[in-house]
Structure 1
Amino acid sequence: MATRLGLGLPQMRQYDLGRDVPDVARSAERTGYDSLWVFERALFPEPATQGLYGIEGLPWPDSYRSVAEPLVTLTLAAAVTERARLGTSVLVAPLHGPFQLAKALATLDAASGGRVVAGFGTGWSHDEYAAASARPFAERGAALDELIDVCRAVWGPDPVAYEGDQTRIAPAVVGPKPARPIPILLAASSGRARRRVVDRADGWLPAGTGAEAVAEQWRQLRELAAERGRTEPIRTVLRVNARHRKQPYGGEGRRPFQGSVDQIVEDLAAHAEIGLEEFLLDLQGAPRDAEELKDVAAEVYEKARAAGV
């Protein structure tokens, strides 16, 4: 069975959101993409108080200066599509009020006919946590655990009741309900985060950092699942942050998924051998506008399928 392919929707400042998000969503569905995805970047600190991913000295990319709110973006896409699943990779879950986020995702799932995939992570930006009036950064794991619990409760049968550290829901009717159980997928690299995937989530959201590294992470996660007695399969969606250019990169310094369409497809084929279910191709950073994004996305899709991906 071919790997499913998803496309990242345009959220950055070179795009006209009201026009381009629906346009790209429709085009991607026509091309054959199985899913449409958004990510979350709440702000761009200036000057930076912290390096990208929390790594000292690593600059934030200029493209992060303006990133559209993810659920608004996904709703624009939902309204003009019929088949493609609608995913988040990822929402920085602790930046959101658990009850409000659970209700928003349920509403979007109900409205779209059961197409939402909830991808959560804990994030790394202290500035985003401060701006969102969120729980302290040190409590991000506990905040994610509670949010998962609240989502399961709100999406479940009425009356909904929940008692947590921060959230208390008195017995209540909460609707609309999702059209079907919304799958929860988690980003995870550390041991504790991997245990959360195995014990509490439907799936895993790795990043495309190279086929060898991802294969090793996937092996470790499956071993952990076996150790902890998990019997349900773990869904997988690999995030591919691609950087397209017309001319191929030469030499040995090329990072995965950077370069020409043929080089990106070559990397997709290498990662497909790992056996993951789905790839999310985020191609939006390099194109000048939506027309270029649509053209590149269609070419990558066609060549990937021709290569057996």
Structure 2
Amino acid sequence: MATALGLGLPQNHQYDLGRDVTDVARAAERIGYESLWAYERALFPEPATQGLYGMPGVPWPDSYRGVAEPLVTLALAAAATERVRLGTSVLVAPLHGPFQLAKALATLDAASGGRVLAGFGTGWSVDEYAAAGTRPFEERGRALDEVIAVCRAVWGPDPVTYDGETTRIAPAVVGPKPARPILIFLAAGGKRALRLVDHADGWLPLATGIEEVTAQRHALRALAAERGRTEPIRIALRSNPQYTPEPYEGDDRAPFQGDAEQIAEDLAAYAANGFEEIIVDFQQSVRDAHELKDVAAEVYERARAAGV
């Protein structure tokens, strides 16, 4: 079975959202991509309270200035396509009210004919939590647990009831319901893998290196067996290629760095290691939507030719 390929949508500040999201979405479906993905970055603090991913002194990339809201982005893509699945990789779930987020995802799924994949994470920016005004940053793990539980309740049969830390739903009819069960993916790994194994359908790892990600996958499956989980953990691997028009010549080439042929080779290597879906997000390393479509088409063609 061929590995499914997903494409990141153009959300960053250099794109014309009203034109480029729908244009790229249509092109991706025509090329053959099986899924489209949007990520969340709520703001760009100046000066930054903390470094990128919470690491002191690491600057935020300029591409994070003005990132479009992920569910609005996916709604635009849904209206322009018929087949591709629509996922978040990732949506910082605790920045949202649990009930409103569950309703929004269910509505998008109903409108798109059952194509939504909900990829959640806890995030790492204290500035985003302060701006959202939902839950304190220190409670982000418990907040994510409540979001997942509320989503499961709201997407389930009526009457919906829920009694949690911040959300209380008295018996009520809540619609629309998703057209199909919405799968929840989590970016969590390592110490937070227990949440994924017990409460999620899938995992959204970052392609940091085949050996590292494969080891994490083995550990996750071992934990799932230990916990008595019988359902397989679905995996959608995210890559953020550093695309260059010419091949990268150095011996220090990072995964997914270089021209279309080199990126396709990396895709083939991960596919050979059993990763069933891989997301490629080129938007940070291309000039505009026109180049994004061209690169996406060339990488897709070369990857399929390589057996992906």
Q: TM-score normalized by structure 1? A: 0.98
1:122 aligns with 2:122: yes
In structure 1, the residue matched to 2:68 is 68
Q: Deviations over 1:54-99 (max 9, x none)?
A: 1111111110011000000000000010000000000000000000
- The answer on 1:178 being equivalent to 2:178 is yes
Aligned residue number for residue 243 of structure 1: 242
Letter in 2 for 1:268: L
- Residue pair 1:242, 1:281 contacting (<8 A) in 2 also: yes
246-255 or 119-128, which deviates more: 246-255
Residue 306 of structure 2 is aligned to residue 293 of structure 1: no
User: C-alpha displacement at 1:134, in angstroms?
Assistant: 2.2
CA distance in 1, matches of 2:3, 2:235: 11
Match of 1:272 in 2: 271
Residue in 2 that maps onto 1:196: 195
Q: Which of 97-106 and 134-143 deviates more?
A: 134-143
CA contact (8 A) 1:158 1:173 kept: yes
Report what 2:95 is aligned to: 95
**1:77 & 1:112 partners in 2: Cα distance?**
10
Shift of 1:273: 2.2
| Aligned partners of 2:155 and 2:178 also within 8 Å | yes
Return the alpha-carbon distance in structure 1 between the equivalents of residues 284 and 215 of structure 2. 28
Tell me how far 1:124 sits from its aligned partner. Answer: 0.4
Distance 2:136 2:13 in 1: 30
Q: Report the CA distance between 1:190 and its aligned residue.
A: 2.5
Q: Does the 8 Å contact 1:8/1:282 carry over to 2?
A: yes
1:44 paired residue number? 44
Is structure 2 residue 263 aligned with structure 1 residue 258?
no
| 8 Å Cα contact 2:190-2:216 kept in structure 1 | no
Name the aligned partner's letter for residue 41 of structure 1. R
Partner SS for 2:171: strand
Q: Is the 8 A contact 1:210 1:271 kept in 2?
A: no
- Partner AA of 1:127 in structure 2: D
Unpaired runs of at least 5, structure 1? none
Q: Which residue of 1 aligns with 2:155?
A: 155
TM-fit CA distance, 1:293: 0.3
The residue number in structure 2 matching 1:53 is 53
Report the AA paired with residue 232 of structure 1: E
1:189 and 1:64 map into 2 onto residues whose CA distance is 24
Give the match for residue 166 of structure 2.
166
Q: Distance in 2 between matches of 1:260 and 1:289?
A: 17
- Matched residue pairs, number? 308
Offset of 1:274 from its aligned partner? 2.1
How far, CA to CA, are the matches of 1:92 and 1:253 in structure 2? Answer: 32
- Give the residue type in structure 1 aligned to 2:238: R
Aligned alpha-carbon RMSD (Å) = 0.8
What secondary structure sits across from 2:119 in the alignment? strand
The answer to whether the 8 A contact 2:282-2:292 is kept is yes
254-263 or 28-37, which moves further after superposition? 254-263
Matched letter for residue 65 of structure 1: R
For residues 129-180 of structure 1, what are the alpha-carbon distances to aligned partners after superposition, in whole Å with 9 as ceiling and x for unaligned? 0000021111111000000000000001111110000000111111000001
Deviation at 1:200, TM superposition (A): 0.6
Secondary structure at the aligned position of 2:40 is classed as coil
Take 1:269 and 1:57, find their aligned partners in 2: how far apart are those partners?
35
CA distance in 2, matches of 1:215, 1:161: 39
Query: Residues of 2 paired with 1:61 and 1:247: CA distance?
Result: 23
**Secondary structure, counterpart of 2:80 in structure 1:** coil
Task: Report runs of 4+ in structure 1 exceeding 3 Å deviation.
Answer: none
Contact 1:40 1:67 in 2 (8 A): yes
1-side partners of 2:243 and 2:15: how far apart?
17
Native 8 Å contact 2:50 2:56 kept in 1: yes
The whole-number CA distance in structure 2 between the counterparts of 1:261 and 1:212 is 22
Which residue matches 2:143? 143
Deviations 1:159-206 (A, max 9, x none): 111000000011111100000110001001232x21111111001000
Give 1:253 deviation, angstroms: 2.3
Determine helix, strand or coil for the equivalent of 1:87.
Answer: strand
Task: Give the gaps of 5 or more residues in structure 2.
Answer: none
Matched position secondary structure for 1:79 = helix
